Structure 1
Amino acid sequence: MTHGLVIEKRGAICLLTIDREPARNALDAPTSRAMDAAITAAEADPSVGAVIVTGTGDRAFCSGMDLKEAEQIGAGHGLIPGRGFGGITERKRSKPLIAAVNGAAVAGGFEIMMACDMVFAADHAMMGVSEVKRGLFAFAGGIQRLAAQVPRATALAMILTGELLPARRLYELGVVTEVVPADRLLTRAIAVTEAMLANSWQAIRDGRALYELSTGMDIDQALAVGNAWGKATLDSADSREGIAAYANKRDAQFGDGPTAPPTS
């Protein structure tokens, strides 16, 4: 355990648990730096296929910036240059990042959640950007991702009032992947992540990258990029293995990940 953060390896999953429950899992500057370092390490570790981030307890996933610290030393010390709050909200990643939202995801905590690729939420979790109540606004990714993903009237109501919405409402809007009972949250997030990692890790990375590029392109540009990448995936060893496994009615053994064949 580093400052305020528990780092565990669950097979091919790196599990990061924010462990500041008395502070509603708010990130002070050392914990934010620890999160940044842990994700950097996971990105560089070939045995890690995905990262899950969650919080301790059932009150809060993350309540954003540690306001007591901010009152003492000034706001913004949890922002990592070039990678954002907690080293997540502006980071360029190649590996999937999954949020297991065990409680309130507020302010910077909501921004972390919105930066994740999949979001599993406990059924009691509340979510939103409350910065306006503190004389701030969610500039580290919250407003930008709300603008891209949530209808205008709902997004602006969240931004301008600072009021929170239940996880079920964010699920209806397509922001949350799945809402589950709190006692099943981490089990479900890990199970889905493990099922994902049984697929080709290269295909996962490429599919994710193409999606991210496509969100900033018109359809013709996105199709052109997809076609440019297409030959590599059609000719890849993982593609040949996946097709052969289907044809021969066996499980695929891809070149990396938990199903990779022995190298000896």
Structure 2
Amino acid sequence: MKKHYLAIAVLAMALGMTACSSKTSETTADTTAATTAVETTAETDASAEDEEEDYYYGFVGEVNDKVITVADDEGKEVRFDVSAAKVEGADAIGTGDEVEVAYSGQLSEDVTKAKSVDIITSAAAEAAAEAAAEIDETISGTIEKADDKTLTLKTEDGTYTFNTIIAQKVTKDGIKAGAEADVTFYGDLEDEEDKPVATKIVTEDAMDTPEAKVNALTGKVVEVKTNYVVLETADPDNTLFTFVGTDGMFDKLKVGDTATVAYEGTLTDKSIMATGLK
């Protein structure tokens, strides 16, 4: 009887050991599979990170939703998907922009996914700058002091002093301290040595007059033909200005005359467009 019980105990122990062995094998297999999966994922991620990054330089010829077409110096065109690309250098990509596109892998014959787009030159920004350069800037404020050659204007952004030797003055009660005024000028507001040049000063009491809406410059005629005139001003640093008009516009002028020419645009142009004589 004891031998029978002993046999049963040995059998039970054997079955237990087999079960433990089975569970250990299963656990080891699961751990090995998980480790392999992690290693495979890591290798895939590392492979993606190590993929060579390249750059494509050119000019944007077309912007179609999230796909742009870029042509290089030789005229070769490549289409890039910029939906997930980091854009630097401007707020948005536009036609005519000079760009450098970063991408990974090979260029596709269809669409290549861009990683980033560096806008070297924004066509829109250049166009805006050119448009702004076509007219002189105007600033508003309160006159702090003024004389025959300078005017100091206090504005919301700061206080600035202007060279007013050639300025057209439009006022009823005079250019004096305390008056509100609009000053049209060219030059750098922050330059204290080479002061910005006021081309027109309009005080508040004359802002509704016809004269306030016209740009004009007065000077001595040093050269004149039927369709252009050169004026010399009293400002030694801003002396000669050339105005171009229509045939016959300046026929009544002669060298030595003092003339006032109405114009449009900016006095910084090499040839200023004249609209008539005042």
TM-score bin, normalised by smaller chain: under 0.3
Bigger fraction of residues in helix: 1
Q: TM-score, normalised by structure 1?
A: 0.19
Asked which structure has the greater CA Rg, the reply is 2
Bigger fraction of residues in strand: 2
